[in-house]
Structure 1
Amino acid sequence: MAVRTREDYKNAVLYCQAQQQQASDVGWAAPPPDVYKINVDGATAGIRGRSSIGVVIRDSRGMVVVVTCKVLNGDYGAVVTEAFAIDAGVRLAMEMELQQIIVESDSCEVVDAINERSCNGEFGMVIQGSLELLRSFRSWKM
């Protein structure tokens, strides 16, 4: 959107505000009381690069409790990297002795595998480890 006049500027500001409002309407939502939400993400660098993961845990007020990021010792595909990110988030929540968690990832494939308790495929061992850790929580949801 090219800004040429004062009116263009006002319209551009209104447009940006509307876009931000729409994004926040469908964005992150806080978990219920006494539940912690774990948001994870993984990134791959490509050929000869290294994959990395990030974890954010928030409470029911949306306040950040803890964050962590880590560079992995290898270059993994996107799905495997997401599986590692979920595993790291669950491990962190366990170390913090949290009892009820919700885990969010943008990898439907990994989330489905955990929900279906399917330990097949290239990331099956990571899923198996995460499932074992999830047993220690009073409640968990993907």
Structure 2
Amino acid sequence: MKLLENIIARDDRFVEEVRRAKAKQIVSINANESEIQWKRPPSGWVKVNVDASVSLIDNRAGVGVVFRDSGGRWIRGAARSVGRCNALLAEMWTIHDGLLHAWLRGYRRVVVESDCLKVELYHIGRGRNQVTDRMAARGCNSERTAVLLSLPPMEIRGLVEEELRNSNMVTVEFVR
């Protein structure tokens, strides 16, 4: 329980930092219009726009998801409550919901857009994700719902070192 409380407190501090950063942003009057307008996804792709809303009064949160095709036409939308949580967790829920709905509907070419200031998602090829792939395999074979590790497991340390060498990192050191 203490770990969960620490995570929530850290997330709350993070959200407050994001709010302060947003408050300091200055919007240029000469902003490029292409940066503030919705853009269509590439042909054959579906765009999933996601957003979350959190009440500053009682932390009630809701999420919204909108699907559009490459012509910009509405495919479907969804909205739901996610209970009480902070803004970062609500944003994670809306990304989860968007990807889940996309997958269940058979969409495999999906662009996800979120206005979350501190999160960026990128696609990497299977060969570049070996360490995380091995961790996921460990999760499949685990009896517990979650295990937090401060050091990489012995059986994947070689992969971690290899990835660091291939990314032009000079030294590899595992510190507790």
TM-score (ref. length: structure 1): 0.59
Contact persistence 1:43–1:52 (CA under 8 A): yes
Please state how far the C-alpha of 1:83 moved relative to its aligned partner.
0.7
Contact persistence 2:59–2:86 (CA under 8 A): no
Structure 2 partner of 1:42: 52
Task: Specify which structure has the bigger relative contact order, considering alpha-carbon pairs within 8 angstroms and separated by 6 or more residues.
Answer: 1
Structure 1 partner of 2:120: 111
Give the distance between the partners of 1:54 and 1:85, measured in 2 at CA.
7
Matches within 5 A, 1:1-142: 23=33, 25-26=34-35, 27-74=37-84, 76-111=85-120
Give the distance between the partners of 1:32 and 1:49, measured in 2 at CA.
36
Give the distance between the partners of 2:59 and 2:88, measured in 1 at CA.
16
1:46-75 C-alpha deviation (Å, 9 max, x unpaired): 24241000000110000010100001122x
Structure 2 partner of 1:135: none
The percent of aligned pairs where both chains have the same amino acid is: 27
Q: CA RMSD in A?
A: 2.6
1:68-115 C-alpha deviation (Å, 9 max, x unpaired): 0001122x1111111111000000101111010000001132325x76
Give the distance between the partners of 1:57 and 1:93, measured in 2 at CA.
8
SS at match of 1:70: strand
TM-score (ref. length: structure 2): 0.48
* Greater radius of gyration (CA): 2
SS at match of 1:92: helix
- The residue type paired with residue 49 of structure 2 is N
SS at match of 2:83: coil
SS at match of 1:29: coil
